[in-house]
């Protein structure tokens, strides 16, 4: 059987203009590998939203990263002050990965 190792999965949904700052915080926490995914729309505490392809004013992006528990904790500490003021959605989960050293 192939061996796995436990890591933390981080997902952050944010307005597109904030992504560069969030990536900097991730880098400061030791997270250098991530994926950015565009979103189409959704609904939350502030109602429905949909990506406006013309202006991009309501565009949201999902940052996804797999990392160590220590890097994830450092990132959460850095991101915490922005969660409420910038209406960010932060999800953390435990995952098992193959080739765990790729996600340190």
pLDDT tens digits, 48-91: 766 665 555 568 899 999 999 999 999 999 999 999 899 899 99
pLDDT tens digit string along 9-40? 999 999 889 999 999 999 999 999 999 998 87
Closest CA to 16 of 55, 66, 47: 55
pTM value is 0.84
Alpha-carbon distances, residue 28 vs 5, 76, 82, 85 (angstroms): 24, 11, 15, 21
Most confident of 42-46, 74-78, 87-91, 99-103: 74-78
Q: Which fold has domain 5-94?
A: Alpha-Beta Plaits (3.30.70)
d(CA 97, CA 76) in angstroms, rounded, equals 21
């Amino acid at each position: 059987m192939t061996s796995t190792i436990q890591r933390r999965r981080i997902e952050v949904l944010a307005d597109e203009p904030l992504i560069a700052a969030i990536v900097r915080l991730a880098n400061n926490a030791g997270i250098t590998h991530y994926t950015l995914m565009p979103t189409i729309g959704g609904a939350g505490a502030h109602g429905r939203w949909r990506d406006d392809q013309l202006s991009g004013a309501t565009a949201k992006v999902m940052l996804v990263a797999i990392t160590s528990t220590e890097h994830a904790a450092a990132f959460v500490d850095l991101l915490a002050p922005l969660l409420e003021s910038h209406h960010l959605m932060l999800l953390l989960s435990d995952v098992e990965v193959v080739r765990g050293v790729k996600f340190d």
